[in-house]
Structure 1
Amino acid sequence: MPTFRIELFEGRTVEQKREFVEAITKATCETLKVEPSSVDIILIDVKRENWATGGRLWSDPPA
């Protein structure tokens, strides 16, 4: 059973998340030849203040 854990910035709507998980499920089923019921997707909303790239928080103003 494929399980995806996806972390993304908070702020997406439920409809955006629904469309996203449907697309991931479809691609997984086509590629791995599995049934949709075997695909698990865990979405984790992360605040920009809790994510950093290159030593800078995403919540910080641009340099």
Structure 2
Amino acid sequence: MPIIQVHNASPSSKEKKRELLAGLTATYAQVMGIRPDTIRVVLHEVPRENWSVGGITLADSGQNESV
């Protein structure tokens, strides 16, 4: 049972999350030649103030790191 973990700077809409999770599952299943129902995906949403690039938080930098 494959497990895919994604770390994403929040926030993301419910629709975008659904699209991302379905797309990751479908792509992995196709590439690996396995059934989609065997794949698990975990989406970790990290607050923008807890994610930094070059020592500057995304909240402070204004960078868009969300889905």
TM-score range, shorter chain: 0.7 to 0.9
How many residue pairs align between the two structures?
Answer: 62
Q: Percent sequence identity over matched residues? A: 27
What is the alpha-carbon distance in structure 2 between the residues aligned to residue 61 and residue 33 of structure 1? 41
**Could you say what the CA RMSD is over the residues aligned between the two structures, in angstroms?**
1.3
TM-score normalised over the length of structure 2:
0.83
Structure 2 stretches lacking a partner, 5+ long = 63-67
Match of 1:19 in 2: 19
Structure 1 stretches lacking a partner, 5+ long = none
Larger-gyration structure (1/2): 1
Task: Give the secondary structure class of the aligned counterpart of 1:59.
Answer: helix
